[in-house]
Structure 1
Amino acid sequence: MTRQQLFDKIKEKESFLCVGLDTDVKKIPHHLLQAKDPVFEFNKQIIDATHRYAVAYKPNTAFYEAQGAKGWDSLQKTLEYIPADIFTIADAKRADIGNTSSMYASAFFENMNFDSVTVAPYMGSDSVKPFLAFDNKWVILLAATSNPGGLDFQNLITSDGEKLYERVIRESAKWGDADNLMYVVGATRPEALADIRKIVPHHFLLIPGVGAQGGDLHAVCEYGMNEQCGLLVNSSRGIIYSDSSENFGSSAGIQAQKIQIEMAEILQRL
Structure 2
Amino acid sequence: MTIKTKFQEKLDKATKKNNSLLCVGLDTDLEKLPQHLKAEKEPIFTFNKSIINATADVVCAYKLNIAFYEAYGLDSLKQLKKTIEYLHFSFGHIPIILDAKRADVPNTAKMYAKAMFEYWDADAVTILPFLGKDSVEPFFEYKDKSPIIIIKTSNKDASTFENIHTAEEVKKWMFPNIALFVGATDPEALKNVRTLFPKSPILTAGIGAQGASIEKAVTAGIDKNGNNLICNSSREIIYAGKDADFVEKACQKACEMRNIINSYR
CA distance, structure 2, for counterparts of residue 41 and residue 74 of structure 1 = 9
Report the secondary structure of 2:30's partner residue.
coil
CA distance, structure 2, for counterparts of residue 175 and residue 241 of structure 1 = 39
Aligned residue in 1 for 2:153: 145
Corresponding pairs, count: 256
Residue type of the alignment partner of 1:122: F
Contact 2:218 2:261 in 1 (8 A): no
Report the secondary structure of 2:126's partner residue.
strand
Aligned residue in 2 for 1:230: 228
Aligned residue in 2 for 1:157: none
1:64 equivalenced with 2:69 (yes/no):
yes
- Aligned match of 1:256 in 250, 254, 257? 254
1:13 equivalenced with 2:18 (yes/no):
yes
Tell me by how many angstroms 1:176 deviates: 4.3
1:77 equivalenced with 2:75 (yes/no):
no
Contact 1:14 1:263 in 2 (8 A): no
Identity %: 41
Aligned residue in 2 for 1:53: 58
Aligned residue in 2 for 1:171: 169
CA distance, structure 2, for counterparts of residue 242 and residue 2 of structure 1 = 28
With the length of structure 1 as denominator, give the TM-score of the two structures.
0.91
Deviation digits for residues 162-216 of structure 1, max 9, x if unmatched? Answer: xxx2222122223344x52111111111122222222222211101101111012
Aligned residue in 2 for 1:161: none
Segments ≥4 residues shifted beyond 4 Å: none
CA distance, structure 1, for counterparts of residue 181 and residue 262 of structure 2 = 22
Tell me by how many angstroms 1:14 deviates: 0.7
Aligned residue in 2 for 1:133: 141
Aligned residue in 2 for 1:110: 118
Residue type of the alignment partner of 1:6: L
Distance 1:14 1:263, change over 3 A: farther
Deviation digits for residues 63-112 of structure 1, max 9, x if unmatched? Answer: 10011111210100111111111111110000101111111111111112
CA distance, structure 1, for counterparts of residue 33 and residue 159 of structure 2 = 32
Aligned residue in 1 for 2:29: 24
Contact 2:98 2:125 in 1 (8 A): yes
Report the secondary structure of 2:157's partner residue.
helix
Query: Which range moves more in the overlay, 216-225 or 30-39?
Result: 216-225
- Aligned match of 2:127 in 97, 119, 122? 119
Residue type of the alignment partner of 1:110: E
Distance 1:93 1:2, change over 3 A: closer
Aligned residue in 1 for 2:190: 193
Query: Alignment RMSD, CA only?
Result: 1.4
Aligned residue in 2 for 1:245: 243
Contact 1:132 1:138 in 2 (8 A): yes
Contact 2:103 2:128 in 1 (8 A): yes
Contact 1:59 1:91 in 2 (8 A): yes
CA distance, structure 2, for counterparts of residue 21 and residue 193 of structure 1 = 23
Aligned residue in 1 for 2:213: 216
Structure 1: give runs of 5+ residues left out of the alignment: 155-164
